[in-house]
Structure 1
Amino acid sequence: MNIAVKVQAADAAAEIAATPLQKLNPAKVSRFYDDSIWPVFERLRREDPVHFTPESEYGPYWSVTKWNDIMAVDTNHEAFSSADGIALVDLEAMAEQERVMGPRRRGAGFITMDEPDHSVARKAVSPTVAPSNLHNMAPLVRERAGQILDSLPIGKEFDWVDLVSKELTAMTLATLFDFPFDQRRKLPWWSDMITNQPGHGPVESWEQKGAAMAECFNAFQELWNQRVNAEPANDLVSMLAHNPSTRNMPMETYQGNVILLIVGGNDTTRNTISSSVFSLNKNPDQYAKLRANPDLVLGMVSETIRWQTPLAHMSRTATRDVELNGKFIKKGDKVAMWYISGNRDEEMIDRPNEFIIDRERPRQHMSFGFGVHRCVGNRVAELQLTIIWEEILKRFPEIKVVGEPVLNWSAFVHGFESLPVIIPSRI
């Protein structure tokens, strides 16, 4: 860390320490963008692990920041509902989006369904990401990962996010959807259009965002029309179209599922691929350890998923009055589960602020959530990440980060817009 960055971090920590607790807003986006969020969560875990923010751009909301409290919320779907959305929403931005694109749809997509409807819809797509199907898909993922890596320039600076992270994710998503392969880059682009506001990522205006989402929905409507009248196949659209529990779902629910599968299939993998390169560069002792023992790839992947936490939080709405760790949450209150903080909980994880690729329990992290809404595609993410690093280690002695990354402008998607690197040579 250079001197300027150290000074900036110290200033941010001092500001956070001086802010009265009741005015602390953990979801302040600028702190995620400049990576100054960590003192916020350290303070809340220490002083106020179930914290209420009465006024913010998201309205009033609770923040749950310690492992056991997050687990208590995440596994109690009866008291904490997903039906009103799974992320804190900027109210001003939502009003502007609704002005251009129409009212926000609530309950669209199985992640925003409560039981028993949630499990019924989730089971419709589960076979696509089942271990047997992933085993069959692995050789294709490996072949495509090799093609991506073999096309990279040697000795020249390039953006790792663009040429590797987005490309591998696009290839895998296209396979899972059986989406036209030559149009695969539309999938991560649509994901960015969905998750960003104007002025960030590729989004230039609300009108452009609305047009992009309409294009996405029209493309997937065409896929639905093709698959529903064809023999059942093993892709996600065909499974939704032929499963009795989802075949007749309203089109807005189908569109919600499309958003979930595109964004969920994009963000975890893409941002962890980028973070793995960044984190290993920031921790050269761990990079040396990995090069010396490639069998540590699996542990490194899990540690990066913990360390990065690709989705910083999920939110729920209380269905009744609930007591949590001495605080009283009222019916209708918004509750943010900060996975990014739980993954640094000192009481649950040894040396949580250190990046250690050979931890004894590498999968001890919160990044995929818990309970009925645990990430349905977690094994797909791990498969891609493991394969890409196995192939990297066969080809390149080193990938060097040569500049500071640009992070997402988001308190939800915790990831990278760009990451400049150079590959000095091949093996």
Structure 2
Amino acid sequence: MDDGSIDLKAEARAKAYAMPLGDINVTDIELWRTDTIWPYFERLRTEDPVHLHPAEHHEDGAFWSVTKYNDIMAVDTDHEAFSSEPSITIVDPKEDFTLPMFIAMDPPKHDVQRKTVSPIVSPANLHVLEPLIRERIGKTLDALPIGEPFDWVDRVSIELTTQMLATLFDFPWEDRRKLTRWSDVATADNDSPLFEAGRGEEQRKEELFGCVDYFTRLWNERVNAPPKGDLISMLAHGEATRNMDRMEYLGNLILLIVGGNDTTRNSMTGSVLAMNQNPDQHRKLRDNPALIPSMVSETIRWQTPLSHMRRTATRDIELGGKTIRKGDKVVMWYASGNRDDEVIENPNAYIIDRERPRQHLSFGFGIHRCVGNRLAELQLRILWEELLPRFPEIKVMEEPRRVPSAFIKGYEAMQVVIPHRD
């Protein structure tokens, strides 16, 4: 891999420490696309861990950035003072396109809707799913070319997570890539190349309305049939969800699609990238495959697939010596908290046998902790259990192309090659 990125990172560090603190804008997409966000977070953690970003930094106005691990925990575990309504992203819902979803609700409605779908990721159901996941991963890996470059994101990460989503929804197999598209469209910025120029918001609405229309057909089939174990049947028959209107159904669909797609998909890619950047850790894993579960947790920390979540203060409250006013937006930067050296030793390093590998913020905490976190870990664990004996090495050919987003911390493409065995 080309190490030109080292110069870029050194330049970013100099720039981050040269600019006035008030000019730092951690929502600048270019910092995420180039993976040069880290010195900006480092400076905020050191100098102003609860930092007010002025209104001119974001189209939706001022917000507080919380960048230290313990402060993030304080916000995430206090849903009474820090509400998930009306949105868990910095952007406020548009009046003509509001998508209620249980991640952006407070109790009691949040609790009953979440409880409706949580059986699909119960330990008993994961035990049932494990052989199917292993079989599909094996088939996908066995179909990869040897000695020829290919895009790991498309051939492995997207394919495996999309297959899993199709199973959870009992979604028509031949159309499963629609799930990937809807996930990408739901989270992309308006000026993303996913959209036609100048049509971002309009095109997003069109495509997501197409999503809910498709899923409504599936709902109508499931609601008139006996309850089954897939997510649509659970929603259609659930006491708390069966009377959802079209927009709330779409909101919860998007939540489940994005939640089931991005965490796993980007950690699958991130794990291969991390092993390339840290060959000593790859050797350690090959020598001791029992470290795979620990490596999975370390990858999810190191990657942090969702970089932030937002809350809204329900009352005046003090945090980190600052007074946050009722109605203020508070953004928890999980990506920064996972690099806080006051809590995590040597946090910028990728170390697969950490003493406490599950000590990370990537799944959130409190009532909104990721409902599918064990499924994400299971898929990543099985991937590496199947990958290690097949491929002693997977070479990343160049810097991956990262998602231009301050919310989804992921990859659009990553060219790799699996060398021929000698």
The aligned runs of 1:157-236 (5 Å cut-off) are 157-200=149-192, 202-204=194-196, 205-206=199-200, 207-236=202-231
Matches within 5 A, 1:392-411: 392-411=387-406
Structure 1 residues 239-258: aligned runs within 5 Å: 239-258=234-253
Does residue 339 (structure 1) correspond to residue 347 (structure 2)? The answer is no
2:62 maps to a residue whose letter is P
* 1:45-69 residue CA offsets vs partner (Å, 9 max, x unmatched): 1111101111312410000011110
Distance 2:375 2:6 in 1: 37
Give the equivalent residue in structure 2 for 1:80: 82
Match in the other structure for 1:114:
106
Distance 1:203 1:276 in 2: 29
Correspondence list, 1:205-354, <5 A? 205-206=199-200, 207-354=202-349
Q: Which amino acid aligns with 1:15?
A: K
Contact 2:189-2:405 within 8 A present in 1 as well: no
Q: Partners in 2 of 1:270 and 1:203 — Cα distance?
A: 21
1:371 Cα deviation after fit:
0.4
* Partner residue in 2 for 1:105: 98
Measure the CA separation in 1 of the matches of 2:193 and 2:394: 25
Superposition TM-score, scaled by structure 2 size: 0.96
| TM-score normalised per structure 1 | 0.95
Is residue 201–residue 417 contact of structure 1 (8 Å, CA) maintained in 2?
no
Is the 2:212–2:249 contact (alpha carbons within 8 Å) kept by the matching residues of 1? no
How far does residue 5 in structure 1 lie from its aligned partner after superposition?
Answer: 2.4
Specify the alignment match of 1:23 in structure 2.
23
**2:5 is aligned with 1:5:** yes
Distance 2:252 2:190 in 1: 23
2: CA distance, partners of 1:8 / 1:136: 46
Contact 2:182–2:208 under 8 Å retained in 1: yes
Q: Deviations over 1:213-245 (max 9, x none)?
A: 122111111111111111000011111111112
Structure 2 CA distance for aligned equivalents of residues 358 and 147 of structure 1:
29
Structure 2 counterpart SS, 1:120: helix
Partner SS state of residue 299, structure 2: helix
Cα drift, residue 26 of structure 1: 1.6
1:134 and 2:126 matched:
yes
Structure 1 counterpart of 2:36 = 36
* Runs ≥4 residues deviating over 4 A: none
Distance 1:387 1:426 in 2: 22
Code of the residue aligned with 1:294 in structure 2: it is P
CA distance in structure 1 between the partners assigned to 2:174 and 2:368 by the alignment: 32
C-alpha distance in 1, partners of 2:7/2:418?
30
The CA distance in 2 between the partners of 1:220 and 1:425, in whole Å, is 44
Structure 2 residues not aligned, in runs of 5+: none
Select the residue among 351, 357, 362 that pairs with 1:356: 351
What's the CA shift for 1:104? Answer: 2.9
CA contact (8 A) 2:304 2:334 kept: yes
Deviations 1:170-194 (A, max 9, x none): 0000000000111111111111111
What amino acid is the match of 2:97? Answer: R
* Letter matched to residue 135 of structure 1: H
Alignment of 1:154 onto 2:146: yes
Structure 1, gaps ≥5 residues long: none
Partner of 2:361: 366
Q: CA deviation at 1:246?
A: 1.3
Structure 1 contact 395–426 (Cα < 8 Å) conserved: no
Whichever residue aligns with residue 104 of structure 1, its letter is F
In 2, are the aligned partners of 1:322 and 1:328 still within 8 Å (CA)?
A: yes
SS class of match (1:105):
coil
Relative to structure 2, which stretch is displaced further, 145-154 or 14-23?
14-23
- Measured in 1, the distance between the counterparts of 2:163 and 2:225 equals 23
Separation (CA, whole Å) in 2 of partners of 1:139 and 1:178:
17
Give yes or no for contact 2:83–2:313 (8 Å, CA) kept in 1: yes
* Residue 248 (structure 1) shift: 1.3
SS in structure 1 of the partner of residue 260 of structure 2: helix
Give the C-alpha shift of residue 15 in structure 1. 1.4
Structure 1 SS opposite 2:310: strand
Task: Report the RMSD for the aligned CA atoms in angstroms.
Answer: 1.5
| Distance in 2, Cα, partners of 1:426 & 1:162 | 24
- CA displacement 1:85-122 (0-9 Å, x = unmatched): 11112x8xx8xxx6xxx72305x010111111101110
Identical-pair percentage: 59
CA contact (8 A) 1:201 1:408 kept: no
Once the two structures are TM-superposed, the CA of residue 277 in structure 1 deviates from its matched residue by: 0.3
Amino acid across the alignment from 2:10: A
Q: Is 2:64 the counterpart of 1:71?
A: no
- 2-structure distance, mates of 1:352, 1:138: 31
* Count of aligned positions: 417
Give the whole-Å Cα distance in 1 for the aligned partners of 2:28 and 2:131.
Answer: 42
Cα offsets for 1:136-189 (capped at 9, x unmatched): 011111111111101111100000000000000000000000001111111111
Residue 297 of structure 1 aligns to which amino acid in structure 2? I
What is the rounded CA distance, in whole Å, between the counterparts of 1:313 and 1:198 in structure 2?
19
